[in-house]
Amino acid sequence: MFKQMIRKQRYVLFALMFVLIAVGGCRSSAPVVEVKDEPFFAASKNADLNQVTQKIIEAGKRRKVEMKVITPGHIEAFYAKRDVRAVMDIKYTTEHFSITYKDSSGLKYDPAAHTINSHYNTWVKNLKADISNIYPL
């Protein structure tokens, strides 16, 4: 009887541990953060798109994000750390900008649920904060 009770307790303990691990593992995924038409903190009426481009590139360099100008007003941002990578599109004018998800590997992106490892969202939020404050030029 005592052995059966211990066996039952072990079963309950293992089941509880499995549930905690499963729930804990899910917590690392979150809805993809996308920045839409975010205004610059102190946009200048005299700003030139080329100046804004250079400042966004500088903001990316501070975060170790590689930036590639695709067209005026569109930069592709590439971030890699250890065995993960993320690609984002940054579209902008002299007054506002957007950061959207483009591609990734190692971040468990789920296109159906539009979720990703929460580290990606931290990178986007940090980049957003730096780009928001590029003025004065």
Tokens (6 digits) for 12: 């309950």
Q: Are residues 2 and 68 in the same domain?
A: no
Phi, psi at 16, each rounded to 5°: -65, -45
Q: What angle do CA 121, 131, 96 make, to 5 degrees?
A: 100
* pLDDT at 47 (0 to 100): 82
CA pair distance 85, 116, nearest whole angstrom: 12
First to last CA, the chain: 78
Q: Are residues 117 and 106 in the same domain?
A: yes
Please list the pLDDT of the chain residue by residue as tens digits (137 residues): 666 656 666 655 555 555 445 445 445 899 999 999 999 877 667 789 999 999 999 999 999 999 999 999 999 999 999 999 999 999 999 999 999 999 999 999 999 999 999 999 999 999 999 999 887 76
Q: Are residues 24 and 59 in the same domain?
A: no
Residue 137 inside a domain? The answer is no
Q: What is the sign, positive or negative, of the torsion defined by CA atoms of 54, 56, 62, 67?
A: negative
Q: Are residues 112 and 49 in the same domain?
A: yes
Q: Are residues 52 and 113 in the same domain?
A: yes
Q: Are residues 38 and 68 in the same domain?
A: yes
Q: Are residues 54 and 42 in the same domain?
A: yes
Domain that holds residue 22: 1-30
pTM of the model: 0.77
